[in-house]
Structure 1
């Protein structure tokens, strides 16, 4: 299983000079290649790929005004072109927007493959560097692990980090447990589980807001291009880095705990990009990082042999009664608790949603059932329809050859019991 460790390092003046020149050359090559590809399309309706930009790079190195490209390792330059090709592939697949030009104040990164670095005596020697990088080894790389790629990154705050990627044989599936959990993501409470547990929102941005506001105001008063402005910019960047680090640390601890304790984790497939368009909630949604939570849960479940399930974002998890299946017509955000008019059960909005998410996720993944059965407003014809669906669900489960034996039988029992509570 491939894994990457990130470490802080403190380069010598000679190393920092070389690395800054390398980052500048990578940025220049990336931007020139992006310009050429964009211009070729708008002027000639031609598509330029990685092979053509690689040939362009060879020609650029021969030009007198770009002769400095030969002073740095060629591997990061080629990797920059490959990253540009990946960006265009993602764009044409509809996953991202059109690639942007890289900017100097954003720092930058340079990727070195095996041919451009040496790992010896637990030290990293980069190409054209005579001394090893002074890395602060906060944890040890597992024995017998050989790095495949090394990425050097300069953050806007001026901090240097190195990411070492390798194949880690120590990642093994965790012991199997029969516990399954549904997760509803929120703002006042960051995570609400189907067990009724709530994880409070640390509000990392709010804690540092006043410091950030003062630093940003101080930056706006500095003259552009001055050294004092650069110092003020670094102060702002460091506060942003502190917010990011504290948020990332908290999310990693939280997601690791959830993966270790549960065999199956079910979440909603939220459209975070659309939700942040709400001006009243955009800052709060960005601070809680729902997308990062689901990303970490997904790859950690893959690492440790857990089941990760995403259900449709339009499933009415908040409006549906987890006890009888009644669906309320409206459920505004200010309603945090409600009573089911059908069965009289009192619900906490978020806990009820997480229970429905769990039941729907297990029913879909194991029993291949629909998560949005039709229900009439009166409840009479709808109840008969739901009972029929429940009987069909039971028949589908036990006729399926994939559930005769092992832990799938336990999951089907669990899913059937949970989903049947929605179909009473």
Structure 2
């Protein structure tokens, strides 16, 4: 399945219908949740059977496409299943909550109720909406999600097409860090753009501006909108950075060796403060890398991170390496090397202790420089 996001341009009347559909779906969700809370034995069929009755009692439910309302029942039970999984993993969970006005941001057209032709997206009960198809839609459309942004509308079109990414022939080890986001076993460095840090002064200014506005006023709404736009910009820049670096790695490599890090435990350490944690986004990086590697047939190998920073990659001696030391100087053989580069080599060397089918060591070529980003340049330096 492939999901692609397109910008929509609804007129005023269509915007009102979309807003109405969002709020009606919210009300349907809340009503089904209320019935769910009253049941002693959960009966999904009984809850879904509420929808025809709602259309008889409440005319507004007849003005929204039926399958869109039915999808809210699916979402409700998906949320319920997610809570059960968390509870099974001994996590502290509460109950599903009713959604307040303005909470819902997406509506779903599943399998039917839509058509796309000549830059026009037809949605049942809404009409023909202008859409910018910046990328061809290939394959059969299985689902369309309509998403409300800060001041924009988007259509996320999900098709049965599989995006083809072909992996390369390199075998590398990678070390993730804070200043250098990534260093590979050939010495290539990817600097951390630190997008949050760059926008921190703007965030503080807009937060202060928002706090000074009177609650409920139009000026407060405008200030909140400006703050939300900046948060969205930061998120988009970070996501763009992660997509580019992970795609480049998968295209160049057939095997990527990395540390099996406990990110949650690391985030509790003093040096890994909240700002560093958000700027690093190692969890999202790993998630994207795993997804793209699986699609391309690239192999991700996770090794024990123990002593990767303390071990000399030349002679194997283990010595203390405080975080403030950025250069590794071996007291045994005199080998001098960048700390992160040394770690990346050690991570690759740990591959020898793991069995990989069809993997042979081969010579590597440096990573090519990734195309520059609009907001923040991504530089790869050859060590």
* 2:105 is the alignment partner of 1:111: no
Cα deviation 1:39-93 (Å, max 9, x = unaligned): 45xxx7x4536434323444444444xx422221122222222223223323322
Give the paired residue count: 357
Cα deviation 1:79-121 (Å, max 9, x = unaligned): 2222232233233223786555545455511111122212344
Aligned equivalents of 1:362 and 1:30: distance in 2? 53
Aligned equivalents of 1:60 and 1:331: distance in 2? 66
Aligned equivalents of 1:103 and 1:350: distance in 2? 48
* 2:346 is the alignment partner of 1:353: no
In the alignment, what sits opposite 1:148? 142
Aligned equivalents of 2:101 and 2:57: distance in 1? 23
* 2:138 is the alignment partner of 1:138: no
Which of 161, 167, 170 is matched with 2:160 structurally? 167
In the alignment, what sits opposite 1:69? 61
Q: 1:279 to 1:363 in 2, by over 3 A?
A: closer
Aligned equivalents of 1:17 and 1:248: distance in 2? 31
In the alignment, what sits opposite 1:196? 187
Q: 1:327 to 1:213 in 2, by over 3 A?
A: same
8 A contact 2:197–2:275 mirrored in 1:
no
Q: Could you tell which deviates more after superposition, 101-110 or 349-358? A: 101-110
Q: Say which one has the larger Rg.
A: 1
Q: What displacement does 1:320 show?
A: 3.1
* 2:262 is the alignment partner of 1:242: no
8 A contact 2:187–2:341 mirrored in 1:
yes
Q: What displacement does 1:277 show?
A: 4.3
8 A contact 2:165–2:292 mirrored in 1:
no
Aligned equivalents of 1:32 and 1:339: distance in 2? 66
Q: 1:309 to 1:81 in 2, by over 3 A?
A: farther
* 2:301 is the alignment partner of 1:304: no
Q: 1:50 to 1:121 in 2, by over 3 A?
A: farther
Q: 1:279 to 1:321 in 2, by over 3 A?
A: closer
* 2:12 is the alignment partner of 1:13: yes
SS in 2 for 1:182: strand
Q: What displacement does 1:188 show?
A: 0.8
Which of 302, 306, 310 is matched with 1:319 structurally? 310
SS in 2 for 1:266: strand
* 2:225 is the alignment partner of 1:231: no
8 A contact 1:309–1:365 mirrored in 2:
no
Q: 1:412 to 1:103 in 2, by over 3 A?
A: farther
Q: 1:268 to 1:413 in 2, by over 3 A?
A: closer
Aligned-pair RMSD on alpha carbons? 2.8
Q: What displacement does 1:310 show?
A: 3.0
Cα deviation 1:127-159 (Å, max 9, x = unaligned): 11232x2112222223xx22110001112x222
8 A contact 2:168–2:251 mirrored in 1:
no
Whichever structure has more helix as a proportion of its residues is 1
Which of 59, 72, 76 is matched with 1:80 structurally? 72
TM-score w.r.t. structure 1 length? 0.75
Q: What displacement does 1:243 show?
A: 0.9
In the alignment, what sits opposite 2:28? 29
Q: What displacement does 1:226 show?
A: 1.9
8 A contact 2:309–2:342 mirrored in 1:
yes
